[in-house]
């Protein structure tokens, strides 16, 4: 294969290895001009106004790999700094998008699962209360039945109704917050502590009509309740209250 220097029009032979070594960039051994041998590549020497002169490949001074690499970087590919900046910008965009999606998912989860989160993780309740105040979601009252105690109880025969019992019980909410009124379960046992009868009373069954059930059981305040029920059995000599 032959190529020609565009400056001094000198022809010289070249092989494939030298063409690919520097991407076609060569330096003329006669005038030291650097050019791309691919542009004037031919199977035969090109014509020239000067006497034909064919130089062997040994007389061609190839560019160093460093210079060729630098030249191609400046013209064909982005500089390392530009590529790094582009990658950083792309990573930043994806990072911001990911954070926005996470924030959206967290907001939706907080809205639809706010009540379950508040009941399961009381430490989150102050934050969820603020969130619901702004977003319009609703939280049910925090429940801690273990903080409700029975401070007084009394079961006796009903004074005016035959074969009936009159039950008086006083509850107190020892929690620092208002909570739902509990379910009151009453069980009767015989002398061997064998269960004879049981009955669960809902708040609307033992609270007076003047009390707003939805407002909850205020913290630190006692509550008196009166229940009436049929005497389960004459053998029932023990009773037990359970709050749920």
Q: Are 52 and 9 in contact (CB under 8 A)?
A: no
Q: Which stretches does DSSP call E strand in 158-237?
A: 164-173, 184-189, 195-201, 222-230
At residue 184 the predicted structure's pLDDT band, cuts being 50, 70 and 90, is very high
Least confident of 5-9, 29-33, 105-109, 172-176: 105-109
Highest-confidence range of 29-38, 67-76, 119-128, by mean pLDDT? 29-38
Q: Are 225 and 168 in contact (CB under 8 A)?
A: yes
User: How far from the centroid of its chain's Cα atoms is residue 207's Cα?
Assistant: 44
Q: Judge whether residue 37 has pLDDT over 60.
A: yes
The rounded distance, in Å, linking the Cα atoms of 95 and 98 is 5
The rounded distance, in Å, linking the Cα atoms of 40 and 9 is 10
Average pLDDT over the chain, rounded to an integer = 78
Q: Judge whether residue 40 has pLDDT over 90.
A: no
Q: Judge whether residue 32 has pLDDT over 70.
A: yes
Q: Taking the complete model, does pTM exceed 0.75, yes or no?
A: no
First-last CA distance in the chain: 98
| C-beta neighbour count of 166 within 10 angstroms | 16
**pLDDT, position 68:** 43
Q: Which residue has the higher pLDDT, 61 or 153?
A: 153
Q: Which residue has the higher pLDDT, 140 or 157?
A: 157
* DSSP 3-state percent helix, strand, coil across the chain (nearest 5): 35, 25, 35
Least confident of 45-59, 96-110, 140-154, 166-180: 45-59
For residue 228, the surrounding DSSP H or E stretch is strand 222-230
For residue 153, the surrounding DSSP H or E stretch is strand 148-157
Question: Helix (H, G, I), strand (E, B), or coil: what is residue 58?
Answer: helix
The rounded distance, in Å, linking the Cα atoms of 57 and 111 is 78
pLDDT tens figures, 220-239: 989 999 989 888 877 888 88
Q: Judge whether residue 55 has pLDDT over 60.
A: no
Over residues 133-137, mean pLDDT: 79
For the sheet with 148-157, list strands across it: 148-157, 164-173, 222-230
Closest CA to 178 of 216, 152, 135: 216
Over residues 136-163, mean pLDDT: 89
Q: Judge whether residue 71 has pLDDT over 60.
A: no
pLDDT tens figures, 201-212: 999 999 988 899
Over residues 173-192, mean pLDDT: 93
Structural class in CATH, domain 145-243: mainly beta
**pLDDT, position 99:** 81
Closest CA to 149 of 45, 241, 39: 241
The rounded distance, in Å, linking the Cα atoms of 244 and 241 is 10
């Amino acid at each position: 294969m032959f190529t020609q220097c565009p400056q001094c029009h000198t022809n010289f032979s070249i092989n494939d290895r030298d063409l690919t070594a520097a991407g076609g960039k060569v330096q003329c051994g006669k005038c030291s001009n650097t050019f791309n041998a691919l542009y004037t590549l031919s199977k035969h020497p090109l014509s020239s106004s000067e006497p034909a002169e064919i130089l062997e490949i040994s007389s061609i001074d190839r560019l160093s790999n460093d210079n060729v690499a630098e030249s191609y970087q400046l013209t064909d590919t982005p500089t390392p700094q530009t590529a790094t900046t582009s990658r950083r910008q792309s990573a930043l965009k994806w990072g911001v998008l990911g954070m926005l999606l996470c924030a959206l998912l967290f907001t939706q989860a907080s809205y639809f699962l706010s009540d379950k989160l508040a009941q399961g993780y009381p430490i989150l309740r102050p934050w969820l209360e603020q969130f619901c105040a702004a977003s319009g979601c609703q939280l049910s009252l925090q429940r801690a039945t273990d903080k409700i105690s029975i401070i007084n109880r009394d079961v006796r025969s009903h004074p005016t109704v035959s074969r009936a019992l009159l039950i008086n019980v006083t509850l107190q909410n020892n929690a620092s917050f208002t909570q739902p009124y509990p379910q009151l379960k009453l069980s009767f046992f015989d002398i061997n502590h064998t269960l004879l009868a049981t009955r669960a009373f809902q708040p609307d069954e033992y609270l007076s009509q003047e009390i707003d059930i939805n407002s909850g059981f205020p913290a630190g305040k006692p509550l008196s309740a009166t229940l009436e029920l049929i005497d389960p059995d004459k053998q029932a000599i023990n009773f037990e209250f359970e709050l749920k």
